[in-house]
């Protein structure tokens, strides 16, 4: 798919991986709708990115809110070709910690935001993409979901997070198979340790220590490197039904 003619929606688009993705798509000529819960960050992002970008406040765990935000984005851009889900939470918590057993509500919220939220965005986007005329390859849209290396080698304290991201990996292939008849591709990215706003708040020494855990390059991943992979997925029609680790060959230790 030619990025120059695309209309994209990016959740978590006001910061981190989502904002980097929005910048890359816009630089390639796309129009982009930023979907995020943080209205202040969203307004600041749109002020930076210009008139080809718009902001739509949304809680991805709410089906009605997602449907409304995707609908607004489609109306503004005249359609939707690409959907990238970057919204998520990653708070660590042990099942049995010093403050007692993990509350079920903690697990439930993690799954609702990271897994259910990704599904809600993807199915709303797919419904909009299904109305697109196919391109020369018969393609109508591309859905990119974000998992994590924690889906495969989660650490102590990541039971909830790993479960939510493992669910994203698990639905990638069946979603791609189901949407194939509509000409919609589905690919998931599983990032390793990236310099997101959460990690950016750590001292430089802590960031360097985390980076050294990566075999090569021995540093934290950069959001623009995530965005480059999104671009490649959009542009390469043979990428479909796959989860791609973007991690510098790291395999996480138990803790």
> For residue 236, what are its two tokens?
């390469």
Architecture of the CATH domain 3-246: 3-Layer(aba) Sandwich (3.40)
Average pLDDT over residues 36-57: 97
The per-residue DSSP string of 194-206 comes to B--HHHHTS-HHH
pLDDT, one tens digit per residue, over 92-150 is: 999 999 999 999 999 999 999 999 999 999 999 999 999 999 999 999 999 999 999 99
- 16: cis peptide before it, omega within 30°? no
Task: Report DSSP letters for 140-198, one per residue.
Answer: -EEEEEE--THHHHPPTT-HHHHHHHHHHHHHHHHHHHHHGGGTEEEEEEEE-SB--HH
Dump pLDDT digits (tens) for 157-194. 999 999 999 999 999 999 999 999 999 999 999 999 99
Among candidate residues 14, 24, 161, 172, the one labeled active-site is: 161
Tokens of 226: 């995530």
For all residues of the chain together, what is the average pLDDT? 96
CA–CA separation, 252 and 231 (whole Å): 27
Label residue 208 by pLDDT band (50, 70, 90). confident
Residue 30 pLDDT more than 90?
A: yes
Told to judge if 60 belongs to the known catalytic residues of this protein, a careful annotator would answer no
Which residues contact residue 144 at a Cβ distance below 8 angstroms, ignoring those fewer than 6 apart?
82, 83, 84, 85, 187, 188, 189, 230, 233, 234
Whole-model pTM: value is: 0.96
Residue 59: CB atoms within 10 A of its CB come to 17
Tell me the CA distances in angstroms from 199 to 153, 158, 193, 204, 205, one per residue in order: 19, 16, 9, 10, 12
Query: Are the beta carbons of 143 and 81 closer than 8 angstroms?
Result: no
Query: What does the block give as tokens for 129?
Result: 């993409």
Torsion angles phi and psi, residue 15, rounded to 5 = -160, 170
pLDDT digits (tens, 9 = 90+) for 68-82: 999 999 999 999 999
* Res. 26: pLDDT tops 80: yes
Strands (E), the chain: 7-11, 31-36, 53-57, 82-85, 96-97, 100-101, 141-146, 184-191, 242-246
**pLDDT given at position 160:** 97
Q: Which residues pair with 35 in a beta bridge?
A: 11, 56
Q: Tokens in use for 163?
A: 């479960």
Question: What's residue 207's pLDDT?
Answer: 83
- Answer whether residue 242 shows pLDDT above 80: yes
Residue 201 pLDDT grade (very low, low, confident, very high; cuts 50, 70, 90): confident
Query: Residue 96 has which token pair?
Result: 């049995």
């Amino acid at each position: 798919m030619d990025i120059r003619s695309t209309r994209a929606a990016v959740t978590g688009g006001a910061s981190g991986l989502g904002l980097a993705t929005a910048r890359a798509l816009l630089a390639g000529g796309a129009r982009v709708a930023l979907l995020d819960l943080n209205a202040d960050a969203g307004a600041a992002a749109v002020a930076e990115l210009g008139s080809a970008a718009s902001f739509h406040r949304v809680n991805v765990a709410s089906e009605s809110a997602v449907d409304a935000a995707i609908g607004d984005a489609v109306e503004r851009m005249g359609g939707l070709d690409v959907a990238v889900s970057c919204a998520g939470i990653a708070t660590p918590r042990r099942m049995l910690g010093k403050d007692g057993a993990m509350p079920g509500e903690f697990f439930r919220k993690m799954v609702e935001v990271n897994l259910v939220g990704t599904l809600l965005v993807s199915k709303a986007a797919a419904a909009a993409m299904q109305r697109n005329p196919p391109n020369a390859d018969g393609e109508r849209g591309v859905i990119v979901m974000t998992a994590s290396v924690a889906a495969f080698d989660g650490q102590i304290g990541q039971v909830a997070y790993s479960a939510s991201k493992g669910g994203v990996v698990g639905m990638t292939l069946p979603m791609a198979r189901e949407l194939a008849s509509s000409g919609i591709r589905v690919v998931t990215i599983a990032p390793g340790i990236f310099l997101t706003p959460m990690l950016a708040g750590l001292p430089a020494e802590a960031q360097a220590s985390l980076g050294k855990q990566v075999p090569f390059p021995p540093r934290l991943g950069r959001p623009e490197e995530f965005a480059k992979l999104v671009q490649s997925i959009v542009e390469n029609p043979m990428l479909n039904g796959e989860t791609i680790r973007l991690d510098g060959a790291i395999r996480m230790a138990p803790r």
